[in-house]
Structure 1
Amino acid sequence: MKKPQKNTATTSQVKLEESTDKPISSSLVKSKPNGYWNDRERCRLEALKYNSRTEFLKGSNGAYAAAKKHGWIDEITAHYSHRYKIRGYWDIKENCAREAIKYNSKKEFFKCSSGAFMGAKRNGWLEELTVGYELYRMPNGYWTKDKCHKEALRYTSRKEFAVGSGGAFHAAKRNGWYEDICSHMSRIGSLKSRLVYIAKFSGDICYIGITYNLEKRKIQHLNQEARDSKLTTVGDYIQYTGEEPVFEALTGYLDSQLAAEKEDEFITLYKKKGWRILNKQRGGGLGGSIRKWDFDSITSTTANYKTKADFMKNEPGAYSAASKQGILDEVTSDLESKRKPSGYWTKERCQIEASKYKTRTQLLESNGSAYRIAIRNGWLDSICLHMEPDSKPNGYWNSKENCAREAQLYTNRSAFSRESRGAHAASIKYGWLEEICQHMSSTHHRSGTWNNKSNCYSEALKYDKISHFEKCARGAYEGAKRNGWLQDVTAHMIRDNKPAGFWTKSQCKEEASKYQTKAEFVNKCASAYVTASKNGWLDEIASHMDAIIAPKGFWTIERCRSLAEKYQSMSEFRKNEPKAYCASKRNGWLDEVCDGLTRRKRKPNGYWTFERAQEEAKKYKIKEEFKKASGGAHRVALDNGWLSIFFPTIK
């Protein structure tokens, strides 16, 4: 990994740059103090400087992020013009022409303004409006051998060449020049052609694997921040030790099956040499190329469902695999189909179906087939005569009474802004917002709230630990810290941090005796672990611990079952014994191992009404506990804007 280069500019260079008329680099501009953008009025005034949300985000990302976090973004950007064009805008030739002159090629025109491009194409104006554009497609005979070779030199692999310059690639293939002009390129493999590689760490520790692209695989192991997925085995070890490995190819590109056999051979060879192997699974596997869904596994999965629609919704991987393999009809022959036969939706049936709904949107969402058939046959207006209009007529929200009536449906401004943007925007425009929202609870604290010691103290009394106070009431925590009251308002709390010098060797040893592995030790008590590591006590005080990687064959069904018997439910087993749980699941023993354990039952859709969610919330002191212990109720409360009612804050 490349280290950031140090700034070696001399003092004279800096002075020279300061004397120029060029704008000062953003890195030299003094940043706002913590909490600066937690004021709604500041964010609103900042938003007025821009014409769109995109400009706002680019020009003042701090204010934008704060407004989004606190739920003010829709309110303070309500004056921005809508970025989408009205229907029919691109069917006017002058509008398309005005847009077309901004670009130099058809490719650029389509990429940057697809609406105008398709409008011009649909109405037959495209060729006229793009006269004088650069040619995106080269004329016949353009790609000679010399030009193809010159183009090929821009790329380092054949795949990049094919993607980046398809014309030259295909011309070279067609004329037999391909191998000559690509001789400088490095080859990469495929799912059928792979090489064996090794990642070596100091102390004779290594990981051996197979890949079709060694450079890409190195990036996957090393560049952990670029990926949201779980760390690789090598990445996990890098994070654990801070050491980067040396990568080497042990073979050239081989048939994937042969490469898998070679991987197993190299693992055995390095084990005999005394190396510690980091691989969690035995060698010889092909990883992601192994087909999970074969005929038997798909058939066994379909047996769990009654209808084809349920199968497709709950098992998209199996459904897609069956479709690709051409066995979908065979494996779903016993399932019921919700699809109506051709000709089922007559006008009378569409009328009966439409009578169940109050708006056209409800009809479309609940029964798209009937809706589309009605549109196609021109029946939609007649079968929807009884329905309420989906959208309000022009000028509806220009009435203060209409806006006030709509505002009464919500308990806080965030919900009002989110669910009824038209009424909210009109209220801001005409200056009615404060008046019609007087009944609403505030979802944020007024400016200066946390500059009052009593407010900070009242908020702090809700928490038992400083870490909880800092995490759940950041504004109060920062206000107390900024004004020098933190020690006073948190005097009743448990201190998370140990005093300097607390972790002596005997204390570290006593703490280490509570854990079975080093990973558990570092996760549960990082301060003791780090102190022991710095002072060279770690190996001694952790001598009783199990190795991070269990030896081959360690997780037997009997061992997993004996661990599972300690718990009452599957969720407890998974939480407290994750390795045993994963081994049981990987080997297909999970149902047998967990026989007798209770399984958590999910609540049906619609279960969490306001009353039930409120009753559940009463069990917890803070929002974080509510979220952790009852995620379903918390999610519904968050979506409906009830959290501020369940956990009222200081106004």
Structure 2
Amino acid sequence: MNFENKQTTKKCCLDNARMYSDKSKWAQNSPEFYLHAYLNGWMPDCCSHMSPPSKSVRWFLEDCFNEAKQYSNKGDWKANSLKSYGAAVNYGWVPLCCGHMQDQKRKHTFKSVSDSAMSFNTLKEWREGDRRCYDAAVANGWLDKCKPLIRDYVSAPTLDECLESAALFTTKGDWRNSDVRFYNAARANKGWFEECCKHMSIYTYSKAECIENAKLYKTKSLWRRSSHRVFVTAERNDWLDDCCKHMVTARKPYTFKECIDAASGYKTQSEWRNGSRSSYSAAARNGWLEEILDMFPCRASSGYSDCLYDAKKYKTKTEWRTKSPKLFRKAWSYGWFTECCSHMPRRSGEISLDECKASAKVYLHKVDWMQGDGRCYSKAMRKGWIDECCKHMKKKTKYATKRKEITKDICLESASKFESIKDWSVRETKKYLVARKNGWLSECRERAGAHSRTAFESR
């Protein structure tokens, strides 16, 4: 940018400078007038009314401008004088300071991109070694034309090559292990894999092979995890009993007598639950828990009768918990809570299963019920009644909304709203990527900053 040719007079600079009380504010808010006055030697007259500069300001516009004059491009300036470059970036002086620099944004042509591609052996080396040329090829749609120019470039396998490779093998596993390149190419293209594997036979295991394989494992679960295909073959042909004769079988289900014998070794319910989880779970699962707990010594002791007698003094659970917390906790921990509170009336406002069902019948979907009557919905969830209450309800389907297609005109219009292509890529990433994919980036780059340039030139 050549400021000597600007049609800005000394009077304009003086009028503009009177709006500010110090040099730093003038440089930050009106850098064009400030630099014009500096280049024409009008600074003493323009700054006569201003206060002395603050000591905290180390870099003024003229300092950054003089520093930038020593370099031919931004990269050299940034590398050799980072502080002055940083000050110019912070105050927005970079365009003013870099007006003398040539080829700040190099526009890649097909020839420059193709020459760059020819100097690399593989596509990966080109992408890592000269990312700018590679991105230019992607943005302008030249990548397919540049790929054959790479020295060691190997074109993607065709269907005939995959068929020729697959014909050498009798099973898919052998093909995958021996020629993974053509195998993966066939898997990646729809319909190729089935066509390539038509002649291949699926190997089936015999009963003797399943038995031999099963002998390597001690349990069914380990065999299923380690040799799933062999296990499934044996399961489909009903050979599991013969194959698993040598394996350690799981324990037989507990009987009522065995649960009593297991419980007799413990003094309390919690000790039994922690000491023999399997027998306790079996008793709970079969509905024997209350009957066995009645035989516990602790049930016959004074502790149980004390809790039962104490609970009868109160009408509600809340009152019992408040006035006799020790016995309340004891009844809860030993499993006597339900029996001790059996005489207490149901709390007013407590929701029953019938009330939950009646509430649920009004709604067609779970979400609507949850939003409309969250109290009944929460109660049903806590008590495990949700499936029973929601039998009549339908599943809510999600309809996919059609996305608006991003066209070239939309991308061009969007890019014209931003000062630079970088700002556009940050604010409108989706449209930027669509433009890049379709090769519209060069046209969008011309549109970006068009409004800001015309506004600046009209000054």
Asked whether the two chains share a fold, i.e. TM above 0.5, the reply is no
* TM-score normalised according to structure 1 size: 0.20
- Return the index of the structure with the highest Cα Rg: 2
* TM-score normalised according to structure 2 size: 0.27
Greater relative CO, 1 or 2 (CA 8 Å, sep 6+) = 2
Identify the structure with the greater helix proportion.
2
